[in-house]
Chain A
């Protein structure tokens, strides 16, 4: 096995730097246990001062005066936890760079834990020594400021995309609204009526959508690009360089006056997709009357290029030769609003969607009931010109279904959609019997009132999931068990309506692939954290909203769109200040093997202009790339490697014969848990020395071997299982144990453990057990 390290730490002690140590008594919190005089006696630094409350403004004066008058290069604050006051003291040490200061945690991790003054005093000296060694290795680093252009691209112009774009535009962000189809509007333009659970009434969907569409069209900050899709994106520190491809409309939207003379001339008829294929349209068409752009377009797949429309057009707006146009776009953020499609009912042949004309979907029923639909709003069977005597709705078609092609999740809106259509039918055609066959009615919150309203209107409900739709004589027959009555039933009906599942759109999959954005197991766009980061994606600066992220209704889509817009506004208005401890690459050493690109969990690396580019916005400084970079071309700003070595060496300084010292490495989460032990005054052994690191993954085998070979009796690594790097760290442990064995030491001296902030008692116990285990070793 090739060794990646030398046994001697590659650091020089840097003794020429002038270090000042400031010890806080913390109003007795520290000084009642720790003998401050003794500590001062044993600390070797240019300045050693003590004060009652260092965090006070008087404390600031003492620190600043010393830095200026004594010409200090580095500062150690021995006081409380950095989690409490790091920011305060980073400010107090001005004019020094904030990263030239380190805090020794004498309170939460010493005086509040230990009762024996002598031992606590000795431990304090060690903790301060470790901080002195660490600051000697610190370098001046400045936070990275990313300037993002004040513009955004919204992909998808359905109800979510339109709302996101409008909100961004109103916040002063230049917004490009990109839509693949010929018009904006999305699925909402098709559904006819929407319902209001509070008003217990159905309202015209188009009447609600149209004003929002108009506002979007007229807003000066919004540029709408229809017939357009994303070809590629490149990300560079808060910038997205996007290439767009626009298909020609074949009708000049500036000249077209929507007179419609062209459609009379066109001889080609094809099924109208806007009516779910229930009506026909011409090859030259306008998707729907309120389409935007308000112009006709030609469907070139079906156009026969006869030129009849051209001859009829009074405005000379039609051209049959058009080229695809490529447009570059530079924006600061992207909002994905790529929407959904519905489950293909042909995948459940038992329901006979293909065999029987009168088996339709809720979407088709919406078109039939729509006044702008194929029957002008008249409820009719598709097989004959007759109002159905009975309609049976089948819920959960493709939802809550673990069979192949099905979806395990609940589509969330179908219960309400079925109730809405049923209510409209009962209202207009009270003689038509409507039965909803359901598994569970899911109508949370106010929707429950709408459910009761539907029952009041005479909608009937049967609890059972039908297995089959057949035809018997004149009627369709739905086979279902009424599970509440334990009755096997065959329902005769004129019409069957399938409530098909909401599923991810092709567009979501495509854009996720282009932008390298993670998807859920159901292939929706995945949020960074489903609970607390519901609109962020795993690509910084890219946000998601609407049904692209998962099934939801119009209200939730709009809310999420607004949330995504305000996340974008955060970056635009406040800029992005990034912790400087991120990776940098030495292009001269880099051999472009791309191993770092494939291993990076944060998707921070990419190839730009034949060089590896590391995006500081995305890099977490975890250091995983260092381990795979064979030419050692990657470095992490701020000397983290050296600082870990120095802290270890300081923690082990002046270790006495027979004394035990165990080093514990924790990141922000683990360190907070350890502080909680102190806050709750729970005891753990003095032999435990905690080192705070940026990411546990930055602790490398070489650090651990170095610690064990230079006096550490054990090394304890704690990691929160929700951390993105958790599995990496866990996997690494066995490999490190092997290396420890190769160095003739007991691999049991390394312990890996889960940490959780509220589980501090457990962590204290684990420290005790680890101390007992190491103590029992020969």
Chain B
């Protein structure tokens, strides 16, 4: 049995989420009536135990263990729940905020580690580019054609009269020092520990 303590406010977690910089103005989180429309359309729910309605319910109950729940990492960010919700709630925004909470708690390093590759690329080239560790996945999903194109990207660009995709050395240096000033490199180190 659960006891709802007299001085306990289950809405603390929801209010924290609503105040988060990532939550949209006027998001209808508190108006959720658990109709389940989000779950009925969620590709994550079809293929895993992720359930956006249930996630919202736990948030509204103040159940902080949702932050540690593995299932929140199965959202695709397709935003269908966001566009279909009859009360203007956004399960995927709530999901992103919960994930950030998990990251801040240091319990999600495994989940975000693959993404640190993006930061490495940024440090190296001063550009956002898909890191090489994802290349095999992309080849599998899109096909050999993608692999070919990616290998010969510079030649293709030249043919099209476009300059190669690279930054001047000074710019790369500048971006690198900016990223270091924001201590992004330290965060990556921490995640990779």
Contact = CB atoms under 8 A, between A and B. Distances in A.
Contacts of B42: 488
A480 interface: yes
B154 interface: no
Which size bracket describes the interface of B in this complex? 20 to 34
B99 interface: no
Contacts of A465: 35-37, 40, 86
A402 B39 contact: no
B41 interface: yes
A439 B35 contact: yes
B33 A488 contact: no
Given A467-B41, A468-B41, A488-B45, A483 B36 contact: yes
Contacts of A463: 36
Interface stretch (B46-54, B62-70, B102-110): B46-54
A350 B45 CA distance: 18
B88 interface: yes
A393 to B, nearest CB: 15
Nearest to B46: A488
Contacts of A403: 84-86, 88
A488 B40 contact: yes
Given A481-B51, A481-B53, A483-B53, A464 B40 contact: yes
Contacts of A467: 37-38, 40-41, 80, 84
B112 to A, nearest CB: 27
B86 A464 contact: no
> Helix, strand, loop or mixed for chain A's interface?
loop
Chain A interface category by residue count: 20 to 34
Contacts of A486: 51, 54
A486 B28 CA distance: 22
B46 to A, nearest CB: 6
A370 B31 CA distance: 39
Interface string B6-42: 0000000000000000000000100001111111111
A441 to B, nearest CB: 13
B36 A402 contact: no
B86 A402 contact: yes
B29 to A, nearest CB: 13
Interface string A483-502: 10010100000000000000
Interface string A441-471: 0000000000000000000000111111000
A483 B35 contact: yes
B87 interface: yes
Nearest to B39: A481
A181 interface: no
A463 B53 CA distance: 13
Contacts of B88: 402-403
Nearest to B28: A402
Listed from nearest, the 3 A-B pairs whose CB atoms lie closest are: A481-B36, A467-B41, A467-B40
Given A483-B36, A488-B39, 10 more contacts: A396-B35, A464-B39, A465-B36, A466-B37, A467-B38, A481-B37, A483-B35, A483-B39, A486-B54, A488-B45
9 contacts: A403-B85, A463-B36, A464-B37, A464-B39, A467-B41, A467-B84, A480-B40, A482-B36, A488-B40
